[in-house]
């Protein structure tokens, strides 16, 4: 599934690059608020779930930014349980996950010869995931949903932004865990 998406992004990158772009571009990638919605995969859940994501990029070196981020998603699942005192059935639970951390991005615009309307980057996120699990009334079994799970959050990204103006753009961020589409505000 991820291979066709990556191939599409590479084709998109090649078809929208401007070979006449200057190698000495002084584009500033920082001071950008990125807000997006998307889909995510978490832990042992095999289906996608909706996510809401926000980060704020600070330029720390040429073509490199750091962005503190926060993401939110929640899902409902079922667990079959029972004992002699309680009936065997599928009990439901809701797990809410809030990853918080820092995303480091390197922009390849100059290498790719991208025009001023496009940005292309590779990134990695590091942080921790806050988790809260709420069980249905009447469930008295084991409440640990994911045994041995650490709170460490790691994610790899590849993405692009199309600049609508000097102050706003649309971004698409594909990742190994949470992929988003959204609005970038350049402040």
For the domain covering 2-71+99-126+148-186, report its CATH number: 2.40.160.20
**107-145 tens-digit pLDDT:** 999 999 998 999 999 999 999 989 899 999 888 888 877
What the block records as the tokens of 91 is 């009990």
Q: Supply the pLDDT for residue 100.
A: 96
**Cα–Cα distance for residue pair 98/158, rounded to 1 Å:** 21
Q: Supply the pLDDT for residue 93.
A: 92
**Cα–Cα distance for residue pair 114/97, rounded to 1 Å:** 36
**Domains of the chain: which residue ranges?**
2-71+99-126+148-186
Rounded to two decimals, what is the model's pTM?
A: 0.79
Q: Are strands 152-163 and 49-61 parallel, antiparallel or unpaired?
A: unpaired
């Amino acid at each position: 599934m991820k291979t066709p998406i990556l191939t599409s992004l590479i084709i998109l990158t090649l078809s929208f690059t401007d070979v006449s772009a200057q190698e000495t571009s002084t584009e500033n990638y920082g001071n950008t608020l990125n807000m997006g919605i998307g889909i995510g995969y978490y832990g042992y859940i095999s289906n996608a779930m909706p996510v809401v994501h926000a980060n704020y990029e600070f330029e720390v070196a040429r073509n490199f930014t750091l962005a503190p981020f926060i993401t939110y998603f929640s899902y409902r699942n079922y667990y079959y349980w029972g004992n002699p005192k309680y009936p065997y059935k599928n009990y439901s639970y809701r797990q809410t996950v809030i990853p918080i951390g820092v995303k480091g991005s390197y922009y390849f615009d100059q290498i790719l010869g991208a025009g001023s309307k496009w940005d292309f980057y590779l990134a990695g996120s590091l942080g921790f995931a806050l988790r809260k699990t709420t069980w249905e009334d009447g469930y008295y079994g084991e409440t640990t949903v994911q045994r041995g799970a650490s709170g460490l959050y790691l994610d790899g990204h590849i993405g692009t932004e199309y600049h609508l103006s000097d102050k706003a753009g649309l971004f698409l961020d594909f990742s190994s865990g949470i992929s988003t589409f959204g609005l970038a505000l350049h402040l």
